A = this chain, B = another copy of it.
Amino acid sequence: MRYVLLVQYDGTGFSGFQKQKKGERTVQGELERAAAEIFGTPTRVSASGRTDAGVHARGQVADLIGETSVPPERLFLCFNRILPPDLRVLASAAAPEGFDCTRAVKKKTYAYTFYHAPAELPLLERYAVRVPVCPDIERMRSAARLLTGEHDFKAFSATGSSAKTTVRTVYGITVGKRTEAGAEIFRIAVTGNGFLYNMVRILAGELVSIGCGKGIDDIERAFETGDRRLVAKTMPARGLTLEQVDYGFPLFGEKE
């Protein structure tokens, strides 16, 4: 039987989702170790997609095949008795017939959080990145509108990416801001049908740079030329969170 899992993790202590050969600590490795204990046999766990070292997930989706008498909706409890505290399964269910949690993805939403303050803020630094200049939110929102839609995002991906096509559709980018104890905290949320390697962290970097004065015309030129050098540098992993994976129907009933 195939099961789907709703998974949350603090990425700080993981070398990313994907299992590494050298025995580094990964989300997949921890999930597969727990699954092997629950099902009594080596069990492969797949996800909607990988996340890099240090990237967090609030609502990652994973699936696996196994046999157990535990009701599907209660399987997540078995995982949480085994998993380390920085990784939890929030819900579980029987997968729909023929479901594949990687291929069936319709939309994903990532959030990138950064802030401006006179010093690094210890209560924010785990999940956000400090920027030395306070960006202009209206400039960022103008740039976000230009980045929305179907485009060739080649210039917005790490070089050496092996994707077959670099065309992706960004359905929407929102830029929010709140003030807390003297800090201006920004949150960029990006929803798309898929993302190239490092794409959200590069988009976030470009929005911050444009908010701080970089030419907004660079976006059009980057789309036309595919030249990575026209675009800002990749933002650090710890500001990035995979918020939600959307399959076009609810996988976990009311729990989502």
Contacts and interface: CB of A to CB of B under 8 A. Distances in A.
A88 interface: yes
A86 interface: yes
Kindly report how many copies of this chain are found in the complex they form together: 2
A57 to B, nearest CB: 8
Given A90-B117, A91-B118, A256-B182, A123 B76 contact: no
Contact of A122 (B88, B182, B256): B88
Instruction: Among A8, A85, A89, A180, find the residue whose CB has the most chain B CB atoms closer than 10 A.
Output: A8
Interface string A213-224: 000000000000
A58 interface: yes
Interface residues of A, number: 34
23 contacts: A8-B121, A8-B122, A8-B123, A8-B181, A10-B123, A10-B125, A10-B126, A56-B123, A76-B119, A80-B120, A86-B122, A87-B122, A88-B120, A90-B118, A90-B119, A90-B121, A91-B118, A91-B182, A118-B255, A123-B241, A126-B126, A181-B244, A182-B255
